[in-house]
Amino acid sequence: MNVTVQEIIHDLIAQPGLGMFAWFCFITFFIALIFFIWALTSGQLKDLEKSKFDMFNDKETHSNG
């Protein structure tokens, strides 16, 4: 029994449960990849340690007198 790639793709698209799940996984992965590339290019992941130390710096938010 020889099964071609076209038959497998047709079966995935034709079956409502498995085909919908496969397309949902593909679209979700593609959207996550786009957001990850955006985060890398916009510098969102440059300095992950800075924000947790910024909360200890009260000079900008509070004045003593």
Phi, psi of 26 (to 5 degrees): -65, -45
Q: Can you give the pLDDT at residue 31? A: 98
Using alpha carbons only, give the angle 18, 34, 23 rounded to the nearest 5 degrees.
Answer: 10
- For 44-55, how does the pLDDT look when each residue is reduced to its tens digit (9 = 90+)? 888 888 877 877
Quick one: residue 43, left, alpha or beta (phi over 0 = left, psi -120 to 50 = alpha)?
left
Does residue 65 carry a pLDDT above 50? Answer: no
**Using DSSP, how many helices (H) and how many strands (E) does the chain show?**
3, 0
- When pLDDT is cut at 50, 70 and 90, the band that residue 32 belongs to is very high
Q: What is the mean pLDDT of residues 2-31?
A: 82
Distance from C-alpha of 1 to C-alpha of 21, rounded to nearest angstrom:
26
For the entire predicted model, the pTM comes to 0.53
